[in-house]
Structure 1
Amino acid sequence: MKKSLIMTLAATMSLALLAGCGASGTTEGAKGSAAPKSTDTGKPAEKIKLSLWHNYTGEDLRAKKMREYMEKFKKDHPNVELDIQGIPPDGYRARLKTVAAANEMPDLFVMQPGVLTKELVAGGLIQPVNELLDSKPEWKNGFMPGSFNDFTIDGKIYSAPMALSPTSILFYNKEIFNKYNVQPPKTWDDLMKLVETFKKNNLTPIALGNKAAWVAQSSILSSLADRVTGTEWFLKAVDQNGAKFTDPEFVQALTYLQQLGKAGAFQEGFNSIDNTQMEQMFAQGKSAMMIDGGWALPNLAANTSKEALANMAVTVLPSVPNGKGDPNSLSGVVGTGIGLSKKVAGAQKATAYELIYALSGPDAQKAILESNQLVSYKVDLDTTKVSSLFVEVYKLMGTVKRTPVYDGNLSSSGADVVNNGLQELLMGGKPEDIAKKIQDAQAKAVGK
């Protein structure tokens, strides 16, 4: 059965996506187990080996901070042999897919909530961390309501989130908007008029970096489609219970996205650059707008001048005609957490618990927030520690509703078809044909 589950996982996991001081204190491990200590005879403690995979490979403030925490843990635990592997984000899930198929998961690894967590649980590859959370009630109770939902399967919690990721923030350049005497779009017609204005003046309206395919899905379609269909319809379509992706409302959502492409909203070659290059393009004033996630904030803070950051502003995507969704909303998910392999036990597990707490405990949550990354943990923001743009997004998040992200809810195979389908759509593919491919993939994945 386990072998069958692992094979199923390998078949369904997709290549798609969706991004200081150490923590104090120690954490108890599994009952009856504890990390080895030096004995009275003076013998050194037994070496404990742990492997840790992460995707914090960039030079943004959050990535640097997380790598610092890992190195501090190594320094503070000389009896622990910690094998750390950093894998670039765009290839990270592909690597997890490979090791999952072979049942060779690392001991600890950065894990996304939602469908990835579900598939790893179904494959019998990871274990819950309820015991760790229950041993630290102040930490557990410090998370915002709903923070554990997408890491919870059958009442068991498999990770603690280390971030909060809105995926569809509309960034705009205030200087450019002032130059052409225009305002942020409130309606779809407003947005299309902005595209026309900027195109007439030889300026890219919206920067897009869709090389890894997930960007158009996560950052544009997830919010845009919710505007059209409403959240309830999407969740029904995911379960294939009362809604299908071939329904007229979803085809309309695809049509709106294609309308942007046909109007020249995006620069040429948008499928050949990644989201980091897209962010650089916007930061350099080469586009008037950018639709991106909260993960852009640490990158922008690390690589953009204060003057340029002060010139950026944010809002949500505009409403659409006769839309069923709430226009005052942002698609988003709680961020990644640390997953724990099913194979880790005993003293190794006790040490793994310490490392999870070091990377996602209260001190780490505060450090992550101060690196310009939103968190789903209750931490007061010191605005002097972050960029002006981050403060604006932080305030925006307090005024909007959070809606689902497509690849956080669809099956991996379904999300993969959406990602590839949107690349095709923006190159001229028919919305109806792409909707059918998505419907077929999701129906097959859920067995309907």
Structure 2
Amino acid sequence: MKKKLTVLATTLVTASLVLAACGSKNDGGNASNAPSGSSDNGNKEKVTLSIWHNYTGDDQRATTMRAILDEYKKSHPNVELDVQAIPPDGYRTRLKTVAAANEMPDLFVMWPGVMTKEFQAGNLLQPINELLDKQPDWKNGFLPGSFDGFTIGSDIYSAPIALSPTSILYYNKSILDANGLQPPKTWDDLLKAVDVLKAKKITPIALGNKAAWLAQSSIFSSLADRVTGTEWFLNAASNKGAKFTDPEFIKALQYLQDLGKAGAFQEGFNSIDNTQMEQYFAQGKSAMMIDGGWALTNLAASASKEALEQMGATVLPSMPDGKGDPNTLSGVVGTGIGMSAKVTGAKKEAALDLMYTLAGPDAQKRVLESNQLVSYKVDLDKSKVTPIFAQVYELVNSVTRTPVYDGVLSSAVADELNNGLQELLMGGKPEAIAKKVQAAQERSAK
């Protein structure tokens, strides 16, 4: 789910995940180390905390985070947790609904970038500077730029619990080999692969765009950056001379539509979600899949050992006459835990304690070992992760990071683009979709 200047983004990734790290076991997020000093829970005021999260699946990261919550309950008898677990595809909508009514839960999973800005502007959040300042070793353990998307002025509103490249091209090595193909490096390579695979009645690229964000986040953000360059997008998003009706943006839309018209995706791609897409790919029903780093923890939980060993990963191919760097991945630092502006007193003390438990050094290490990239200095023990995770870990460290569209655009503009890309892949005209996106951008700027 940051961000946004490429210079800062580059620093975050290339500083990256190979830094030695973390601290001793005494650095962990357990009760004895929590910032509120909560070891004497029996004498503390009893409070109830509501928390919303989207850790609902069977993927390893979700089960890890739920386990941490369960452990917290047992070690903090003074804190009653009212937990709402909401599936990822519906989570943002639910959260925005309660935000509009100013009825936020005490703690909630939130995204950096636009969501942080919009919630802060609505006086829905409060900063966590005091928590970070009480734990300087923890604060300094994050990779450079990790807090950028959660920071407004001098206030920091959350700490990331993940690192999310969004545009990884996953491929099935055995399917490509059997058809005389290599992972595509250029747009022509990709179109050739689509033709060869279609002739063999093999789905070239799995796509699950039911929730509309996937095509934007995992395909278009990276594809468009290769066509337009990052500077053009940032200027268009900030109304600084560039517009979404410019020829380069329309060209990017046309390229995505051409890929769809070539038969790259399976039938019904707008009727399945990204989890179903990942299962489709893991079962060997497609040769490729364009998805984020979040797929790694899902695949680790659901794919067979044999299937995992056949998976490879690379970046999207370069585009003809593209202005952007092809050796990049679109991406963001991951979600964090936000705290409602209404939380005070003993409840706030408990909330900060729980935030640290969920995002502290021990949790970061456990999340990494659940096959989820993190934006924290942790050494990777490759024996504890899948081969494809280890490969992506190295890939992310070898490329720079570019913006994800919905991490920069306002919610209204991002929704217009998401819906427009669904329309585009069903035959809509690129020029008409570009006009709708630009109109939404102009309305958002007022």
TM category (shorter chain) comes to over 0.9
2:180 matched to 1:181?
yes
Give CA-to-partner distance per residue, 1:304-353, whole Å, 9 cap, x none: 11111010000000001111111000000000000000011111111111
Is contact 1:229-1:324 (8 Å) kept?
yes
Q: Which amino acid letter does the alignment assign opposite residue 325 of structure 2?
A: D
Task: Please give the alpha-carbon distance, in whole angstroms, between the structure 1 residues aligned to 2:298 and 2:38.
Answer: 37
Give CA-to-partner distance per residue, 1:352-384, whole Å, 9 cap, x none: 111001000000000000000000000000000
- 1:23 is matched with 29
Task: Please give the alpha-carbon distance, in whole angstroms, between the structure 1 residues aligned to 2:306 and 2:35.
Answer: 47
Is contact 2:222-2:330 (8 Å) kept?
yes
Give the secondary-structure state (helix, strand or coil) at the position aligned to 1:326.
Answer: coil
Percent of residue pairs identical: 70
Q: Which amino acid letter does the alignment assign opposite residue 128 of structure 1?
A: P
- Per the TM alignment, residue 26 of structure 1 is displaced from its structure 2 partner at its CA by 3.4
Q: Which amino acid letter does the alignment assign opposite residue 26 of structure 1?
A: N
Segments ≥4 residues shifted beyond 2 Å? 21-29, 34-38, 43-46
- Per the TM alignment, residue 47 of structure 1 is displaced from its structure 2 partner at its CA by 1.2
Query: Within 5 A, what are the aligned runs for 1:41-56?
Result: 45-56=44-55
Is contact 1:35-1:350 (8 Å) kept?
no
Task: Please give the alpha-carbon distance, in whole angstroms, between the structure 2 residues aligned to 1:219 and 1:354.
Answer: 34
2:66 matched to 1:63?
no
* CA RMSD across the alignment: 1.4
What is the TM-score when the length of structure 2 is the normalising length? Answer: 0.92
Task: Please give the alpha-carbon distance, in whole angstroms, between the structure 2 residues aligned to 1:415 and 1:45.
Answer: 44
Is contact 1:36-1:347 (8 Å) kept?
no
Give CA-to-partner distance per residue, 1:272-301, whole Å, 9 cap, x none: 000011001111111010000001001100
Task: Please give the alpha-carbon distance, in whole angstroms, between the structure 2 residues aligned to 1:408 and 1:45.
Answer: 40
Task: Pick closer, same or farther for the CA change 1:36–1:163 going to 2, 3 Å.
Answer: closer
- Per the TM alignment, residue 49 of structure 1 is displaced from its structure 2 partner at its CA by 1.2
- 1:259 is matched with 258
- 1:153 is matched with 152
Q: Which runs of 5+ in 1 are unaligned?
A: 1-20
What is the TM-score when the length of structure 1 is the normalising length? Answer: 0.92
Q: Which runs of 5+ in 2 are unaligned?
A: 1-25
- 1:235 is matched with 234
- 1:137 is matched with 136
Task: Please give the alpha-carbon distance, in whole angstroms, between the structure 1 residues aligned to 2:39 and 2:300.
Answer: 42
Task: Please give the alpha-carbon distance, in whole angstroms, between the structure 2 residues aligned to 1:304 and 1:66.
Answer: 20
Give the secondary-structure state (helix, strand or coil) at the position aligned to 2:33.
Answer: coil
- 1:437 is matched with 436
Give the secondary-structure state (helix, strand or coil) at the position aligned to 1:205.
Answer: strand
Is contact 2:405-2:414 (8 Å) kept?
yes
Q: Which amino acid letter does the alignment assign opposite residue 23 of structure 1?
A: G
- 1:411 is matched with 410
Task: Please give the alpha-carbon distance, in whole angstroms, between the structure 1 residues aligned to 2:445 and 2:141.
Answer: 35
- Per the TM alignment, residue 37 of structure 1 is displaced from its structure 2 partner at its CA by 6.0
- Per the TM alignment, residue 212 of structure 1 is displaced from its structure 2 partner at its CA by 0.4
Query: Within 5 A, what are the aligned runs for 1:44-123?
Result: 45-123=44-122
Task: Please give the alpha-carbon distance, in whole angstroms, between the structure 1 residues aligned to 2:39 and 2:119.
Answer: 30
- Per the TM alignment, residue 98 of structure 1 is displaced from its structure 2 partner at its CA by 1.4
Give the secondary-structure state (helix, strand or coil) at the position aligned to 1:358.
Answer: helix
Task: Please give the alpha-carbon distance, in whole angstroms, between the structure 2 residues aligned to 1:35 and 1:68.
Answer: 19
Give the secondary-structure state (helix, strand or coil) at the position aligned to 1:91.
Answer: helix
Q: Which amino acid letter does the alignment assign opposite residue 331 of structure 2?
A: G
Task: Please give the alpha-carbon distance, in whole angstroms, between the structure 2 residues aligned to 1:127 and 1:82.
Answer: 20
Task: Please give the alpha-carbon distance, in whole angstroms, between the structure 2 residues aligned to 1:98 and 1:224.
Answer: 31
Task: Pick closer, same or farther for the CA change 1:184–1:44 going to 2, 3 Å.
Answer: closer
Is contact 2:172-2:288 (8 Å) kept?
yes
Is contact 2:424-2:433 (8 Å) kept?
yes
Task: Please give the alpha-carbon distance, in whole angstroms, between the structure 2 residues aligned to 1:197 and 1:388.
Answer: 28
Is contact 2:35-2:135 (8 Å) kept?
no
- 2:341 is matched with 342
Number of aligned residue pairs = 419
Give the secondary-structure state (helix, strand or coil) at the position aligned to 2:287.
Answer: strand
